[in-house]
Amino acid sequence: MNAPAGWTTVDIAIAGRDMLDGSKISCNYQLHWLVCYQRIFVIETEHEFQEQAGVPFALHLWACLPNGEVDTSYQGNHRLQFEYTESIPSTLAPPKIPKEIELFFQQGMSVTRPEFTLYDSTTTVQVSTTEIGPGGPSGESEAIAILPGEFYTFELILHSPQIAHCPFHGKNFIRAID
């Protein structure tokens, strides 16, 4: 049944016959309950879906109505669970995404602490969230590009014996350390 948001009244009528004497039996009952809007979370990262590898960032969340307007009546503490999907599974460290966070929403908006960290700049990540509890809002971010971190130093690993006046002879490695 689809009902408009707000208070609604449901009338329940049950009718039947008694199995012993065949007399009619009926019962009418009326229920009143609040029908809530189906909200959708709009999620944006701290740097508009361009996050640097290894640097923690925050998420901005808005609870929106189906027409896209922010639902300013969405207030208070709400417990959310988070998941992520990668465009290509990372061969490096997996993203650091908290499983659950309790957030305080004011006027339909909240911001997490910077506790989301992505590492592999060869992939993109989408973060999705759902409020814990029946009928809670859910939503997912756009693909988050992971920008390589700045390299501060390089490490030179020499495996082969080196010969004077012949730079980097044999099989050796240069590794960037960020």
pLDDT in tens, 82-134: 999 999 887 778 899 999 999 999 999 999 999 999 988 888 999 999 999 87
Q: What pTM was computed for the model?
A: 0.68
| CA angle, 10 then 13 then 16, to 5° | 160
Mean pLDDT of the region 33-47: 86
Kindly tell me if the per-residue pLDDT of 169 is higher than 70: no
pLDDT at 153: 63
Residue type, 104: F
* pLDDT of 43 over the 80 cut: yes
CATH of domain 40-147: 2.60.40.10
CA-only gyration radius of the chain, Å: 28
Tell me the pLDDT band of 136, cut-offs 50, 70 and 90: confident
DSSP state at residue 142? P
pLDDT surpasses 60 at 1: no
Q: How many residues does the structure list for the chain?
A: 178
Predicted local confidence at residue 135, as pLDDT: 77
Residue 3 has pLDDT above 80, yes or no: no
Looking at residue 50, its amino acid is: Q
Read off the pLDDT of each residue in 126-151 and give the average, rounded to a whole number.
Answer: 89
Tokens representing 138?
Answer: 């859910």
Which of residues 101 and 38 earns the better pLDDT score? Answer: 101
Positions of CATH 2.60.40.10 in the chain: 40-147
Residue indicated by tokens 């700049």: 121
Q: What is the mean pLDDT of the chain?
A: 86
pLDDT value at residue 118: 92
pLDDT of residue 5: 66
Torsion of CA 107, 109, 114, 120, to 10 degrees: 180
Q: Is pLDDT above 90 for 163?
A: no
Distance of CA 120 to the CA centre of its chain: 18
For 169, the token pair is 């002879």
Q: In Å, what is the CA distance from 126 to each residue of 50, 112, 169, 172?
A: 12, 16, 44, 37
* Residue 15 structure tokens: 């009718």
